[in-house]
Amino acid sequence: MRRSPKETEDAAGLVTRRGIVLGGAQLGFMGLLGLRMRQMQVEEAEDYRLLAEENRINVRLIAPSRGIIYDRYGIPVAQNAQNYRIVIVREQAGNVEETIAKVRRLVDLDDDDLERSLKEMYRRSPFVPITLADQLEWEDIAEVALNAPALPGITPDVGLSREYPLREDFAHIVGYVGPVSDFDLSKIEDPDPLLQIPKFQIGKIGVETKLEADLRGRAGTSRIEVNAGGRVMRELSRDDFTPGNDMQLTIDHGLQNYAQARLAKESAGSVVIDVETGDLLAMASAPSFDPNLFVRGISSKDYNGLRENIYKPLFNKTVQGLYPPGSTFKMMTGLAALRAGVIGPGETVYCPGHTTLGGRRFHCWKRGGHGYMDLNNAITQSCDVYFYEAAQRVGVDRLAELCREFGLGERHDIPMSAVREGIVPSTKWKAQVRGERWNPGETLNTAIGQGDVLTSPLQLAVMTARIASGKAISPRLIKSIDGVEVPVPDAPTLNVPSNIMNLIRKAMHNVSNGSRGTARRSRIVAEGMDMAGKTGTSQVRNITTAERARGVTRNDQLPWERRDHGLFVAFAPFDKPKYALATIVEHGGGGSSAAAPPSRDIMLYALYGDVPPLEAYPKDQRERIKAQHEEMVLRPRLQPEKKATRA
């Protein structure tokens, strides 16, 4: 049917309107698209360029060299040594088992280490390099390099590994490093990306862990170009790492070695401290262990041998060990009573061999008693009954207060693992810890360093240094950081009258030099080097009434683990104190026989700065001392390689 002219005209108008609308919409869309393209190509071009760069450029971390640890004279005690190793890339190795078999014909690979490396290899991408073996000799690396064409995917490499050149001497102080574990990461809220590097090592114990942040340094970065598969094509740029800070300890390597050697046959610990500065000059814990065994992963056999040793070589007896101080505590009881004015300097107490309280007998170590004792004689001869009386008069709370002023019951702030607080009991302490009231009989046990009193050799050394100086010196282990000296804090004067302190010092001098002193056999006869000390014996078993009646069993007739601990504290020279020390010999018996002799030798080394001359000893002991020194395994005093490291 033919349209009329009017209908044709109307239809043409409608098409024209639709075309205009559609054309306008298309034009608007193209305009918006053009604007967006302009925005992306011009205004946002830099952002998209960076995204493209990230698709083909990776940033890898470069592990920093760890800070070196020195002794007080600049001798390295923890350093970085070249580590020759073999690296494997799985995707390049082809048949991994066959390639490893070829390597084993050239190099002796440990089965346990190899198993760990293979597990790591199959956890990672095939193009990631994995250490197959390290700590190799140069000859092994040279052999692998010579046969490189026949070993696809195998590369000889060199890196840095932690090394402890003085081995057992500094094991408990410096500690050691080891690979980062999942447990390590779980303890850190925001872990350093360095810790994600396979086999990256961090401090595990000792100074290595306590000063980890300073020693570790900061990572460098390497910008590398990779292909679509993630394989490295080339390095584009590099920002080098910042090495860790070097540390200088206050420890004297020669004195430390001598103390370790002198205590080598015992389960013992000894601390030497500078009376004026608080510098810790030696912290020997015997027996010790070789920290190099832990750097790469100690074998089960070696670890079990250390763990099962009854002398506990992994246990740091100087700060981690807590022991009843025995009679070395009696200076605290005497000072507390004198300062409170409840007993006079010349006042005497009669010792019949025991005292009675509440129907119970508290015995003196001397069964027949000492007779009348004043403070001087009570410390010199270590009379228990005198201090029973002094403690009852002063009370346990005033005694505990004074003990804390002298550094007991305090966790001293030094960067070592497991530094313990110890216990100085009081009425408040017992109520809080045990929910019980204080028993008057406990005061008597506390008076002679038994009962609940627990101290470490470090605390006893600090106590003795404060007695010697009259100041509240604090122990210090770090001498300098990156060559910058750590300032020695001013030590306030203790709140004890000087005349009372002098009474205690004179009594300690008589312990080592008086005709009836308990440590007379361990005196120093060199002019101007008189040593003042105090012996202590702490019981580790209860002595029954029946045993006392028939005679107390001698220590040498008991199993080792049931024998008494021997303790000794001292300072020297008496007229102008320079050093103080404290020694514990676990299950060694009496303090005079077990702890005083090695303490005298260690003190003499500190005074002379080397193996002490025989003239410093009483004449009748010189042949024995000479033989003793000939048997000891000692290192010669070393000279620093780099003077710049000395603060």
Q: Which pLDDT score is estimated for 90?
A: 75
Catalytic residue among 117, 285, 327, 469: 327
Question: Model confidence at 645, in pLDDT bands (50, 70, 90)?
Answer: very low
Mean pLDDT value across residues 563-579? 95
Q: Which pLDDT score is estimated for 139?
A: 82
Q: Which pLDDT score is estimated for 235?
A: 60
Strands, DSSP E only, in 255-373? Answer: 268-274, 280-286, 349-351, 354-357, 360-363, 371-373
Mean pLDDT value across residues 146-155? 78
Residue pair 153/91 in contact by the 8 Å Cβ criterion: yes
Between these two residues, 17 and 418, which has the higher pLDDT value? Answer: 418
Q: Which pLDDT score is estimated for 296?
A: 74
**Which residues, 6+ apart, have CB-to-CB distance to 228 below 8 Å?**
none
Residue 374 has pLDDT above 90, yes or no: yes
Residue pair 77/164 in contact by the 8 Å Cβ criterion: yes
Q: Which pLDDT score is estimated for 1?
A: 52
Mean pLDDT value across residues 73-101? 83
- For the record, the structure tokens of 566 come out as 């021997």
Question: What is d(CA 311, CA 321) in angstroms, rounded to the nearest whole number?
Answer: 12
Q: Which pLDDT score is estimated for 104?
A: 80
Question: Model confidence at 596, in pLDDT bands (50, 70, 90)?
Answer: very high
Instruction: Provide DSSP, 32-52.
Output: HHHHHHHIIIIISHHHHHHHH
Mean pLDDT value across residues 375-384? 96
Residue 192 has pLDDT above 80, yes or no: no
Mean pLDDT value across residues 357-370? 91
Radius of gyration of the chain (CA): 36
Question: What is d(CA 65, CA 46) in angstroms, rounded to the nearest whole number?
Answer: 36
Question: What is d(CA 294, CA 273) in angstroms, rounded to the nearest whole number?
Answer: 29
Q: Which pLDDT score is estimated for 643?
A: 47
In a 3-state reduction of DSSP, which class is residue 110?
A: coil
Least confident of 105-114, 199-208, 263-272, 569-578: 105-114
Place of tokens 């050239």: 106
Question: What is the DSSP-derived secondary structure letter of residue 6?
Answer: H
Q: Which residues pair with 237 in a beta bridge?
A: 223
Question: What is d(CA 445, CA 542) in angstroms, rounded to the nearest whole number?
Answer: 13
Q: Which pLDDT score is estimated for 545?
A: 62
Between these two residues, 562 and 361, which has the higher pLDDT value? Answer: 361
Question: What is d(CA 319, CA 124) in angstroms, rounded to the nearest whole number?
Answer: 42
Q: Do the bridges between strand 247-249 and strand 280-286 make them parallel or antiparallel, or are there none, so unpaired?
A: unpaired
Question: What is d(CA 71, CA 476) in angstroms, rounded to the nearest whole number?
Answer: 13
Task: Please say if 327 is a catalytic residue.
Answer: yes
Question: What is d(CA 567, CA 323) in angstroms, rounded to the nearest whole number?
Answer: 9
Q: Which pLDDT score is estimated for 30?
A: 76
The total of other beta-carbon atoms located within 10 Å of residue 515's CB is 7
Give burial (CB, 10 Å; 0-12/13-18/19+) of 594: buried
Question: What is d(CA 596, CA 566) in angstroms, rounded to the nearest whole number?
Answer: 8
Between these two residues, 16 and 459, which has the higher pLDDT value? Answer: 459
At residue 498, φ and ψ (nearest 5 deg) are -60, -35
Question: What is d(CA 594, CA 615) in angstroms, rounded to the nearest whole number?
Answer: 22
Question: Model confidence at 126, in pLDDT bands (50, 70, 90)?
Answer: confident
Q: Which pLDDT score is estimated for 131?
A: 77
Q: Which pLDDT score is estimated for 7?
A: 60
Q: Which residues pair with 533 in a beta bridge?
A: 570
Mean pLDDT value across residues 576-596? 95
**Which residues, 6+ apart, have CB-to-CB distance to 512 below 8 Å?**
519, 520, 522, 523, 524, 530, 531, 532, 533, 570
> pLDDT tens across 5-30, in order?
666 565 555 556 666 766 666 776 77
**Residue-averaged pLDDT of the chain:** 86
In a 3-state reduction of DSSP, which class is residue 222?
A: strand
Residue 611 has pLDDT above 90, yes or no: yes
The total of other beta-carbon atoms located within 10 Å of residue 135's CB is 16
Between these two residues, 367 and 24, which has the higher pLDDT value? Answer: 367
This prediction has a pTM of 0.84
How open is the CA angle 430-330-463, to the nearest 5 degrees?
Answer: 85
> pLDDT tens across 325-348, in order?
999 999 999 999 999 999 999 999
The total of other beta-carbon atoms located within 10 Å of residue 548's CB is 13
Question: Model confidence at 3, in pLDDT bands (50, 70, 90)?
Answer: low
Residue pair 250/280 in contact by the 8 Å Cβ criterion: yes
> pLDDT tens across 275-299, in order?
999 999 999 999 999 999 998 778 8
Q: Which pLDDT score is estimated for 4?
A: 65
In a 3-state reduction of DSSP, which class is residue 363?
A: strand
In a 3-state reduction of DSSP, which class is residue 248?
A: strand
Q: Which pLDDT score is estimated for 61?
A: 65
Q: Which pLDDT score is estimated for 459?
A: 98
Q: Which pLDDT score is estimated for 646?
A: 38
Closest by Cα among 477, 457, 415 to 277: 477
Q: Which residues pair with 70 in a beta bridge?
A: 76, 248
Give burial (CB, 10 Å; 0-12/13-18/19+) of 203: buried
Start-to-end CA distance of the chain, whole Å, equals 113
**Which residues, 6+ apart, have CB-to-CB distance to 626 below 8 Å?**
614
Domain ranges of the chain: 82-165
Mean pLDDT value across residues 198-203? 78
Greatest Cα-to-Cα distance within the chain, rounded to the nearest angstrom:
150
Between these two residues, 636 and 605, which has the higher pLDDT value? Answer: 605
Mean pLDDT value across residues 483-495? 93
Q: Which pLDDT score is estimated for 644?
A: 41
At residue 234, φ and ψ (nearest 5 deg) are -165, 160
- For the record, the structure tokens of 284 come out as 């020997």
